[in-house]
C-alpha cells in the first residue's frame, strides 16, 4: 500500500532561535513512522542554507526508487525543480531565517511492509502546528 501524506507545518507565532555557521537548523523536528513491525525516522526543518530541492550540506540525499511492494519504506518527496524529476530524501529542510513565521508543506511517501498498521509520531517545537492529510 502506497500512501502519500501531506505534512503542513504552520508556524503560527514567530519562532526565533539564534543560529550561525555550523550550528543546528533554526527549526528541526522529526517524524517516526512505523507499520507495526518496521520503524524509520525522518528529519525536517527550517535552515537559512536550505533550498526547496536537495541540500547535500544538510544531509539530504536523493534516494533510489521505492523498493518492491511488501517492503517498508518512508521518505520525503521533495519539490520538483525544473525537469529534474521527483527527488526523495530522509531529510527535508526548507529555507528560512530567524525569526521565522509562515507555512511549509512536507510530503511524505509511506509504503507499508509486513506490518498491518501505520503510526506516526512527531516532535515539534511548541510554537509549531502540524496538520497531517491523506
CB 47 within 8 A of CB 95: yes
Integer Cα distance of 19 and 46 in angstroms: 11
* Spatial distance between the Cα atoms of 99 and 118, rounded to a whole number of angstroms: 34
pLDDT of residue 24: 59
Q: What is the mean pLDDT of the chain?
A: 76
pLDDT of residue 12: 36
What pLDDT band is residue 91 in, cutting at 50, 70 and 90? very high
pLDDT band with cut points at 50, 70 and 90 for residue 10: very low
User: Has residue 101 got a pLDDT over 50?
Assistant: yes
pLDDT at 41: 93
H helices, E strands: number in the chain: 0, 9
> Going by DSSP bridges, is the β-strand pair 87-89/2-15 parallel, antiparallel, or unpaired?
unpaired
pLDDT in tens, 22-52: 455 677 888 898 988 999 999 988 888 898 7
Residue 9, pLDDT > 90, answer no
Q: For the whole model, what pTM was predicted?
A: 0.77
How many beta carbons lie within 10 A of that of residue 23, not counting itself? 10
Amino acid at each position: 500500500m502506497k500512501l502519500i501524506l501531506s505534512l503542513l507545518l504552520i508556524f503560527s507565532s514567530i519562532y526565533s532561535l539564534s543560529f550561525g555557521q555550523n550550528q543546528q537548523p533554526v527549526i528541526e523536528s522529526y517524524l517516526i513512522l512505523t507499520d507495526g513491525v518496521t520503524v524509520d525516522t525522518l528529519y525536517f526543518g527550517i535552515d537559512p542554507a536550505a533550498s526547496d530541492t536537495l541540500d547535500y550540506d544538510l544531509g539530504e540525499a536523493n534516494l533510489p526508487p521505492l523498493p518492491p511492494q511488501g517492503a517498508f519504506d518512508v521518505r520525503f518527496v521533495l519539490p520538483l525543480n525544473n525537469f529534474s524529476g521527483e527527488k526523495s530524501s530522509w531529510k527535508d529542510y526548507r529555507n528560512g531565517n530567524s525569526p521565522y513565521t509562515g507555512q511549509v508543506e512536507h510530503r511524505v511517501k509511506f509504503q507499508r511492509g509486513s506490518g498491518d498498521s501505520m503510526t506516526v509520531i512527531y516532535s515539534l517545537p511548541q510554537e509549531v502546528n502540524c496538520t497531517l492529510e491523506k
